Every structure is written in C-alpha cells, then in structure tokens.
Chain A
Amino acid sequence: MNERRGIPAAPPAMREKPRVWYWLPHPYMTLVLVGVWLMLNNTLHPRHVLIGAVLGFAIPLFAQHFLPEAPRIRSWRAAMRFLPLFLWDVVVANFVVAGLILNLRRRMRPSWVAVPLDLVDPYAITTLANVISLTPGTVSSRLDDGRRTLLVHVLDTADPAAEVARIKSRYERPIREIFEC
C-alpha cells in the first residue's frame, strides 16, 4: 500500500512474519484487548477473562486485512529502560511548561526545528512523534512525505541545534533500540 504512494517500504527483514502467528496476527493487540476488557469491567472474574479472550482472539483475526502490520518489538529491555525516563520527562515537562506559562515577565523564544530521522519503522516514528509531543516544550507538527524529517515546534529554546541533538540522543536512540536493532 505504501509503495504505491511512493513512500519507501520497510526493509524486507522487517516484513517477514513469524510462522506461528497465523491465528494470532496481532498478538500485542490481543493482549491489549483482553487487558482493556478486564479493566473496563474492573474484574478478574473467569467469565470476563473468557469473554475478553474471545474478543481478543476474534477482533484481530477479522480485522487484520484493514489493520496496518503489527508492530515488532525487538528489545523489551530497552522498552523497560525507556519507560521510566519518559514518564519522568513528562512530569518535568509539566512543571517546565507551567512555569513558562505562569511567569508573566519571561519572554519565550519559540522556534521551529527539523529533526532528521534515522527511524524507518512507522510505529517507531509514531512513538517518537508522540513522545516529543508529551515531553518538555516540544510538539511534533509535520512529517514530510518521505518520512525523513519531523518538523517540531519548540516553545522556548536558545539553541535550536542543541534541541535537535537532545531529541535524537535522548529519545530517538532508545526508540530505535526498542523497534529496530
């Protein structure tokens, strides 16, 4: 589908599917559906576990033809390392932005920066864009047609180049470890 639009396809190694998953085309989605069902009902009652399991099995199976390819997580350890760092940054982001907003005398120095992407996997790019939007003073605003650069709006920065470097080393590298290498 993406090839038709002239967007570079993922390398072949990333497209081949493990054979086991014919009946479970989206294993993570199955887990998430079961989890969401149990949380919605706020119970671990066997009846609801069963209903959740049926939903989690049937929905990805019937919907797989119009769902995008399932994400592949290469390194759970990298994900576990990244999560606390990300949550901490979210908390810090809130204090920083609240401080900027409430400090009436402070002149903000907003700026646009273009972040060149090393990521190829669409899920990795989505994750990076969302992480950027949730952390200190940055909102991801546009991905170019070739998925090569991400345009980011920075609320307050003295040095846009340093901002790019920070995003790349602090967020892009760990996300790349999680999804790609």
Chain B
Amino acid sequence: MIAELVISACLVLGGFFALAGSIGLARLPDFYCRLHGPTKATTLGVGGLLLGSMLYFSLLEEGVIVHELLIAVFLFMSAPVSAHLLARAALHLGIDAGTAGSPAAGTDPPDHEPPPAG
C-alpha cells in the first residue's frame, strides 16, 4: 500500500516535470531559451518515471531490476551533449537571440576542431 503510494508519487512528479519541459519547449521566446526546457525539466521528469518503474518491479513484481539506472545514466550523459550541439549549431548558423551579450551572428569560426563537449 505504502509502496503503491510512493510509486504513484514518483509517476505524478515525473509526469509533471516532463509536461513542464514540453510546455517550456513550446512557450519560451527564442531558440536558446527553448533548449533549457528539454535539458532540465526532462531529466527529473524521466528520472521520476524511471524511479517509479524501478520501485514497482522491485517491490511488487519479480525482484530487483536495475535497467532503469542504466537509462538514467545514458540520459544524463546524452542530454547535455545534444543540447550543446544544438546550441552550437544554432550559433554557427547565426540564429541570433538578441539578448544581452549575444555573440554576433556568424562569428563562429569554420569547423576544424573536434566537437567540444562530445
């Protein structure tokens, strides 16, 4: 019973953050701001869902399952790298957010260096 409550709480919390991330993706004003929604709100969103799933199978079904930990690790590695690459590509194309301290469009040097954060 308590286990079910905890699992439900994890699922609701995860769903809430995934929703917030998606709303951010749709609602925020420019490209670079929109990157923030998916990179952050989704880590806890998916994290909550994975925690719920792990607890459910470990406590109520056939025993300890750790696949979810693996998913979480891969997510934590890939989300910031893909966000970095998207931001970099946008800077390269000169999509200008027009915010304070914005790097001038097209100042990104031609690519002859390795991808920085990959």
Contacts and interface: CB of A to CB of B under 8 A. Distances in A.
Chain B: interface size category: 35 or more
B81 A98 contact: no
A94 B24 CA distance: 12
Nearest to A135: B40
Chain A: interface size category: 35 or more
A175 interface: no
Query: What's the dominant secondary structure at chain B's contact region?
Result: helix
Contact of A110 (B33, B70, B116): B33
A141 interface: yes
Interface of B: 16-17, 20-21, 23-24, 27-30, 32-33, 35-37, 39-41, 43-45, 64-67, 69-70, 76-77, 79-81, 83-84, 87-88, 91, 97, 99-103, 108-109, 112-114, 116-118
Nearest to B78: A130
B51 to A, nearest CB: 12
Contact of A153 (B20, B29, B32): B32
A90 B75 CA distance: 13
Contacts of B40: 90, 93-94, 97, 134-137
Interface in A151-181: 151, 153, 155, 160
Nearest to A90: B43
